[in-house]
């Protein structure tokens, strides 16, 4: 048994290089030896088995509305002022609210992901991907970085198209999204969040808030054929309609999730296909297998390692006493590899039936953009594999460049040959 696995039944650092490189071994050891584990560094419980994760993400035994207040209570007196500008916005995101506020926000923002919205944007996604690939080919290059050229910019371009943000603003949009992601990656995982990161990101948050305020004002004067126009209420704050401030905040959440999550899933999917050449060949011959490929990607290398909640009341799980308000990390990444549920859990097997992955969360907090994200990612991958049928990796498949943050998992660079 390796040192990190042996140590993991006691304590380990989720910031350590060992954990980062061997996290799946750590999860296996926790599932088998400490499925409900108190982690001293994070002052939180770690829950790692599929059955527990899928069960306790349902209902109200574990809630999200305490996450931000509890996080701020860890700071020294007065330190919370460094985060106020950003937290005033993200504390209104549906992910940090429980019922009934969550239900109101989700019901309203679901309009963004109705079937007709997905159908409207799908042809546009194909055009965007095709144009980007054309530019790659125009460079007469035999290789390129898949993350830099495809996975990172295209989801941002798609969101800009959906929201009616001009093409000339895409570069600013990407910076805003990357900055929000930088803050969230630190905020979610850190027992005490970074003041330095907050200071760095604050300007982008102000910029995007001002931009969206102006965009809403323009559309009040003249509606456009875009999602932002369809989300704006004529009677803000009345009968469940969102105020402009609420809409701006939720749109910022949409920008963060709708850009970074597809980026990570795209890179992770192609990486797994490179490692599973038989599956890649099957997919090239039959693109209808893409949904099954994505399911396996989300199970094996989903973009989010864990979801943070707080206990709403005292509860006992596997003999461990979790107290009211205790912080709890539900490890989605571990649940997807649980040997109690999935045969040969380390294998990418697109013939699997039965249990589904929990990479999009669970209960009423399940990601509302899941259907849209799947449609977008499939359209992008379909175009990439069609236009680059001989795409091959130019990096060590056993030592890929993952994000260094323990919260989110994606490739940071991915040189490929075409």
**If pLDDT is split at 50, 70 and 90, which confidence band does 1 have?**
very low
Average pLDDT, the chain: 92
Hey, what CATH topology would domain 35-417 get? Cytochrome p450 (1.10.630)
What DSSP element (H or E) covers 396? none
Of 325, 407, 360, 358, nearest in space to 61 by CA: 325
Phi and psi at residue 316, to the nearest 5°:
-110, 130
Q: Does position 87 have pLDDT exceeding 80, yes or no?
A: yes
Per-residue pLDDT tens over the stretch 278-308: 999 999 999 999 999 999 999 999 999 999 9
Phi and psi at residue 123, to the nearest 5°:
-65, -35
- Contact (Cβ atoms closer than 8 angstroms) between residue 99 and residue 339: no
In angstroms, the CA 54 to CA 35 distance is: 14
Q: What is the pLDDT of residue 362?
A: 87
- Contact (Cβ atoms closer than 8 angstroms) between residue 272 and residue 352: no
Q: What percent of the chain has pLDDT over 70?
A: 98
Strand partners, 402: 411
Q: What is the mean pLDDT of residues 247-264?
A: 92
Is residue 90 packed enough to be buried (19+ CB in 10 Å), middle (13-18) or exposed (0-12)? buried
Structural domain spans, the chain: 35-417
Contacts of 293 (CB under 8 A, 6+ apart): 269, 273, 279, 283, 350
Per-residue pLDDT tens over the stretch 168-184: 899 999 999 999 989 99
Tell me the helices (H) and strands (E) count for the chain, helix number first: 18, 12
Q: Does position 95 have pLDDT exceeding 50, yes or no?
A: yes
């Amino acid at each position: 048994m390796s040192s990190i696995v042996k140590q993991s039944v006691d304590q380990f650092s989720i910031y350590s290089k060992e954990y980062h490189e061997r996290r799946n071994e750590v999860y296996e050891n926790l599932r088998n030896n400490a499925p409900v584990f108190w982690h001293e560094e994070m002052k939180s419980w770690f829950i790692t088995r599929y059955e527990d994760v899928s069960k306790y993400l349902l209902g109200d035994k574990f809630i999200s509305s305490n996450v931000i207040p509890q996080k701020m209570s860890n700071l020294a007196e007065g330190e919370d002022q460094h985060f106020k500008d950003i937290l005033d916005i993200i504390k209104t995101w549906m992910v940090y609210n429980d019922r009934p506020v969550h239900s109101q926000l989700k019901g309203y923002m679901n309009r963004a992901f109705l079937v007709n919205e997905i159908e409207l944007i799908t042809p546009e996604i194909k055009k965007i991907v095709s144009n980007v690939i054309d530019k790659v080919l125009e460079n007469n290059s035999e290789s390129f970085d898949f993350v830099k050229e495809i996975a990172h910019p295209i989801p941002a371009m798609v969101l800009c198209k959906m929201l009616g943000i001009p093409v000339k603003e895409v570069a600013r949009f990407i910076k805003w999204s990357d900055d929000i992601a930088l803050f969230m990656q630190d905020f979610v995982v850190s027992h005490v969040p970074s003041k330095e990161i907050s200071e760095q990101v604050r300007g982008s948050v102000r910029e995007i808030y001002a931009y969206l305020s102006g965009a809403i004002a323009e559309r009040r004067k003249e509606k456009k054929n875009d999602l932002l126009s369809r989300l704006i209420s004529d009677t803000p704050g009345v009968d469940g309609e969102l105020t402009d401030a609420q809409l701006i905040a939720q749109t910022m959440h949409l920008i963060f999730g709708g850009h970074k999550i597809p980026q990570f899933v795209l890179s992770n999917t192609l990486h797994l296909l490179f490692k599973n050449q038989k599956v890649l060949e099957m997919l090239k011959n039959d693109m209808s297998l893409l949904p099954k490929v994505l399911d396996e990607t989300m199970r094996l290398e989903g973009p989010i390692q864990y979801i943070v909640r707080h206990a709403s009341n005292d509860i006992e799980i596997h003999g461990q006493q979790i107290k009211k308000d205790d912080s709890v990390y539900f490890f989605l990444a571990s649940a997807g590899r649980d040997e109690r549920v999935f045969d040969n859990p380390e294998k990418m097997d697109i013939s699997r039936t039965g249990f589904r992955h929990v990479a999009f969360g669970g209960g009423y907090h399940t990601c509302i953009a899941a259907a849209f994200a799947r449609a977008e990612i499939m359209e992008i991958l379909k175009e990439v594999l069609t236009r680059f049928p001989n795409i091959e990796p130019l990096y060590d498949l056993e030592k890929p460049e993952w994000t260094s943050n323990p919260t989110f998992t994606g490739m940071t660079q991915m040189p490929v040959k075409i």
